[in-house]
Amino acid sequence: MTDNGAPMPEPYKIKVVEPIAATTREERQAILEAAGYNVFGIPAEKVFVDLLTDSGTSAMSDRQWSGIMMGDEAYACSRNFYRLTETVQRLFGFKHILPTHQGRAAEHILFATIAHSDSQIPSNTHFDTTRANIEHIGATAVDFMIPEGTDPETYHPFKGNIDLERVEEFIKEVGPEVIPICMLTVTNNAGGGQPVSMENIRSLKELLRPHNIPLFIDACRFAENAYFIKEREAGYGTHTIPEIVREMFSYADGCTISTKKDGLVNIGGFIATNIDDLAEAMRNLLILYEGFPTYGGLAGRDLEAMAIGLEEAVDERHLAYRVAQVRMFGEKLAGVGVPVLQPIGGHAVYIDVKRFLPHIPQSKFPGQALTTALYIEGGIRAVELGTVAFTKVDPETGETVYPLLELVRLAVPRRVYTQAHLDYVVQVFAEIVKRKDELRGLRMTYEAPFLRHFTARFEPI
């Protein structure tokens, strides 16, 4: 809402436009078939509304593009590194800043430094690249989401919270010496873009402190999380977003971040921490894997765009619009009969496919079937987060274990699409709803040995 009561339109005007393709249904049918019924294989130019991810897909502002021209491309100690360092220190309060080319590079360097094969890393929910980087070292990633987080229908203001009791039991069970850090993902992407409360962050720190276990935040969507705290948590309504961000990170000993999300850049990330000897050890690995510690795999211009993007990310008008845009999109989808995960998260709307397509069993990939229908019907690209992405084989029994939730995520890129684009998606869904009982499942014809969802191929049944 604006102060005159009118619904809030986009808080920006458009200076540069990029045409998007219109395709016919016949063309889309042929494109999808050639892509093996996997939307990851569709040329982006053939997508009309691309909701595959909110990562690296943001539109940069005029200030950021100006910043690109201010890149200092010196190998060592470029001006932009100091600008970024000053910005991160002011917003997050951490002493050491190590730039990386994206989030998973930050995770790689952190875990390669602190974890061993017997390490245990608890979290609310590790994102899949975080989990993969932990498991790559032979360590164990453990998720302790609160029970409400696993129910797509109930309302809870902070469904991303970590289950403190289970963390406490876990520390007792395995011993603090095998837990090099505890992680917290804000917002919780794998659990539906749900926020974590300030109270939960503070209490987690209090729980970890006597055991000397540092707390690290996966900060990809830190600004959206701060906005939810302002909106939903008692006592924070009058705080500014930078004040909330500063308090959130005051309970942490460090963070990893992909600035391709809230950081509003197309590539970038960093690790930040207050622990001196850890920073020094990570800097040595950074030189080995990413680059000299003042650029870490990025150009000077990228660091400048990132510093400016982080400032814009905590602008309250930007966040108010962003969160309202995603929420309104979700509510409109629910209004045409699409079961969406509640409450609607910060960066995406998640569809509960088990309730939407109950006639397709998980063995026939109902989430994948929905992503293919969205492309055929409207040139829309979404991502399956269900049977294709998360099915596991029980190492003891050899049995296939399907994930509890079968979701399709419609992620909304920042500052890219207008309300009209999202209304178009709602209309396409309204058509799909009418004929949803006719949708059929798929048969998988190829799968890679790991992370199969990116390259798997299918055929319709």
State yes or no: cis peptide before 256, omega within 30 of 0: no
Under rule CB under 6 A, residue 272 binds ligand F0G:
no
Q: Which is nearer to ligand F0G, 185 or 342 (CB)?
A: 185
**Binding flag, residue 53, ligand F0G (CB under 6 A):** yes
Partners of 97 in the β-ladder? 272
Residue 384 vs 436, nearer CB to ligand F0G: 384
Residue 362 near ligand F0G by CB under 6 A:
no
CB nearer to ligand F0G: pick between 127 and 171: 127
How would you write 94-142 as a 3-class SS string? CCEEEEECCHHHHHHHHHHHHCCCCCEEEECCCCHHHHHHHHHCCCEEE
Interaction of residue 123 with ligand F0G, rule CB under 6 A: no
> Which of residues 38, 47, 55, 278 is near ligand F0G by CB under 6 A?
55
Closer Cβ to ligand F0G, 77 or 448, answer by number = 448
What is the x/- site pattern for ligand F0G, positions 166-195, by CB under 6 A? Answer: -------------------x---x------
Our CB check for ligand F0G shows the closer of 152 and 345 to be 345
How far apart are the C-alpha atoms of 75 and 392, rounded to whole Å?
44
Helices (H) and strands (E) in the chain, counts: 16, 16
Smallest separation (angstroms) from ligand F0G to the CB of 376: 23
Q: What is the dihedral of CA 110, 113, 115, 121, to 10 degrees?
A: -20
Asked if 386 touches ligand F0G (CB under 6 A), the answer is: no
Residue with smaller CB distance to ligand F0G, 417 or 436: 417
- Rounded to the nearest angstrom, the gap between the alpha carbon of residue 39 and the centroid of all alpha carbons in its chain is 19
Strand partners, 318: none
Q: Is 127 in the site for ligand F0G (CB under 6 A)?
A: yes
Residue 108 Cβ vs ligand F0G, minimum distance, rounded to whole Å: 9
As measured in angstroms, the least distance from the Cβ of 410 to ligand F0G is: 12
Instruction: Answer yes or no whether residue 133 interacts with ligand F0G by CB under 6 A.
Output: no
Binding mask 8-47 for ligand F0G (x = CB under 6 A): ----------------------------------------
Residues 85, 120, 123, 129: which binds ligand F0G (CB under 6 A)? 129
Region of 207 on the Ramachandran plot (φ > 0 left; ψ -120 to 50 alpha; else beta): alpha
N-term to C-term CA, the chain: 47
Site for ligand F0G in 103-122 (CB under 6 A): 103-104
The minimum distance between CB 258 and ligand F0G, in angstroms, equals: 3
Q: Residue 285's closest CA among 118, 110, 115, 134? A: 110
| 371 touches ligand F0G by CB under 6 A | no
Site for ligand F0G in 241-260 (CB under 6 A): 258, 260
The stretch near ligand F0G (CB under 6 A) out of 30-38, 102-110, 337-345, 394-402 is: 102-110
Determine the 3-state secondary structure of 359 from DSSP: coil
**Residues 217-246, interacting with ligand F0G (CB under 6 A):** 218, 220
- Going along 159-199, which residue ranges are E strands? 182-185
The interaxial angle of helices 241-250 and 222-232, nearest 10 deg, is 110
Beta-strand pair 120-123/140-143: parallel
R_g over Cα of the chain: 22
Both tokens of 83, joined, read: 């600008």
Residue number closest to ligand F0G, CB atom: 103
Q: For residues 87 and 100, give the distance between their C-alpha atoms in angstroms, rounded to a whole number.
A: 16
Task: Determine the size of the site formed for ligand F0G (CB under 6 A).
Answer: 15
Please state, as a whole number, how many other Cβ atoms lie within 10 Å of the Cβ of residue 405.
Answer: 20
Residue among 189 and 342 whose Cβ is closer to ligand F0G: 189
Which residue ranges make up the site for ligand F0G (CB under 6 A)?
Answer: 53, 55, 102-104, 127, 129-130, 185, 189, 218, 220, 258, 260, 269
